[in-house]
Amino acid sequence: MAKDSLSVTDNRTGKSYELPVSEGTIRAMDLRQIKVADDDFGLMTYDPAFMNTASCRSAITFIDGDKGILRYRGYPIEQLAEKCSFLEVAYLLFEGELPTKPQLEAWEEKVRYHTYVHTNLIKFLEGYRYDAHPMGMLLGAVGALSTFYPDAKHIGDKANRYLQRVRLISKLPTIAAFAFRHSRGLPFVFPRNDLGYIGNFVNMTFEIGGKLEPNAVLQRALEILFILHADHEQNCSTSAVRAVGSSDVDPFSAVSAGIAALYGPLHGGANEAVLRMLDEIGTKADVPGFIDKVKSGHGERLMGFGHRVYKSYDPRAKLIKKVAYDVFEQTGLNPKLEIALELERIALEDDYFIKRKLYPNVDFYSGLIYKAMGYPTDYFTVLFALGRLPGWVAQWEEMLLDKEQKIARPRQIYVGAEERNFVPLVARG
Ligand code: CMC
């Protein structure tokens, strides 16, 4: 009997099967041979929310949730956050290797060249209501980009995929900044090619009357946050990009699906939800009462806590807490920080949270930082999207080039009505 295998006995038939085990995994399709009769479909696995199913093999990001480890292409997140620029990390995610100096300069130049958007896209953005949520604006506008670049449909062409990758990385900050200005009723500020990626984005959001005094500490803090968000293997939004992209649709449509998934409060929308929760709590003295409400199990969650994969700590949260203090040194302390620290202190000592391995995640402190930088609460998830974009695009391309991948199409267990005859409207009572 092969050592790297799993022996399974089907007690319904008494038959035994030997299933190969590779990379700690059995192939779900190997279960199909397990049948009770020739016309039986074969055994399936049932895994709502993909709790224990690998949907792909990936060489991009490694996470060890029990040890709190996160690496992009083998490099620890701590080192990348300390030493890299965001575009350098994006290059690493796409190409698998860190760029040389000339490669980085060429990549930066390419991105700078494509930062403008077609002026019709501006009309499109202007059509949104003044109070439109910026994530709704972003996902609509990115989907609309597919109509501006119909050539993006040629996903089998390597050079074409590269061009769309550059367009996405270049134009998303411009669209995001325009969404910001629209909701404030401010005129759009166009990209400036003499500024770096982060500097240009900050300028497009905050410049007034042709002037903005750049704050290097705040810009670096934003860059670190983008790096920490750049990829996170098969999370909800990345899975959405892969699943939608598996239909061979263009990358703008696939990425807009990722933005839609990120929007939700259980995913990227948690950073916005954390700030709303801190507002709702009110003062430090109200924290124990709020924790009791969460523990009572009536639907209230401690937003910014818990993670499907991290069960000891989220390494990004650790780094973000340090960034928060760098930022507050510049901007002054946010009074909400006191509430957040008290929530963290109580939760980390409380049996409810300890038993369930609930620790602060990436979103717990990021909202406070964005707020201190001057971004409104409903804009936080847009900033997450800007950071996550390289991961989405890298995962989309990896999926396309993976010979084992096909259109994503899960199975179901049908639990509905048996066949029955149609009843005409008049006879339905
Ligand atoms: N507050 C209170 N209880 C919680 C929380 C929380 N934030 N998260 C999980 N639990 C409880 C949950 O009620 C359940 O308890 P029980 O076993 O008694 O039913 C247990 O912990 C396991 O929870 P789960 O919902 O089965 O865990 P999951 O892996 O499906 O959910 C999660 C992961 C992130 C959606 C969840 O922890 C959550 O809702 N957190 C708050 C939202 C949040 O901060 N999301 C950002 C995630 S990190 C950034 C990103 O990648 O988007």
The full 3-state SS of the chain, as one line of letters, equals CCCCEEEEEECCCCEEEEEECECCECCHHHHHHCCCCCCCCCCCCCCHHHCCCCCCCCCCEEEECCCCEEEECCEEHHHHHHHCCHHHHHHHHHHCCCCCHHHHHHHHHHHHHCCCCCHHHHHHHHCCCCCCCHHHHHHHHHHHHHHHCHHHHCCCCHHHHHHHHHHHHHHHHHHHHHHHHHHHCCCCCCCCCCCCHHHHHHHHHHCECCECCCCHHHHHHHHHHHHHHCCCCCCHHHHHHHHHHCCCCCHHHHHHHHHHHHHCCCCCCHHHHHHHHHHHHCCHHHHHHHHHHHHCCCCCCCCCECCCCCCCCCHHHHHHHHHHHHHHHHHCCCCHHHHHHHHHHHHHHCHHHHHCCCCECCHHHHHHHHHHHCCCHHHHHHHHHHHHHHHHHHHHHHHHHCCCCCCCCCCCCCCCCCCCCCCCHHHCC
Query: Of 9-18, 365-374, 404-413, which gets the smallest average pLDDT?
Result: 365-374
Please give the distance, rounded to the nearest whole angstrom, from the Cα atom of residue 56 to the centre of ligand 1.
Answer: 24
Active site residue 154: no
Model's pTM, two decimal places?
0.94
Residue closest via CA to ligand 1's atom 24 equals 308
* Domain locations in the chain as residue ranges: 1-45
Per-residue pLDDT band for 45 (boundaries 50, 70, 90) equals: very high
pLDDT at 429 over 90: no
* pLDDT for residue 335: 84
Please give the distance, rounded to the nearest whole angstrom, from the Cα atom of residue 307 to the centre of ligand 1.
Answer: 6
* pLDDT for residue 2: 73
Active site residue 114: no
Query: Of 210-214, 271-275, 334-338, which gets the smallest average pLDDT?
Result: 334-338
* pLDDT for residue 340: 92
Which of 133, 182, 232, 267 is flagged as catalytic? 267
**pLDDT, mean of residues 174-200:** 96
Instruction: Kindly give the number of the ligand 1 atom that is closest to the alpha carbon of 304.
Output: 44
* pLDDT for residue 4: 95
Residue closest via CA to ligand 1's atom 37 equals 306
Please give the distance, rounded to the nearest whole angstrom, from the Cα atom of residue 354 to the centre of ligand 1.
Answer: 13
* pLDDT for residue 302: 94
Active site residue 182: no
**pLDDT, mean of residues 365-392:** 95
Residue closest via CA to ligand 1's atom 26 equals 308
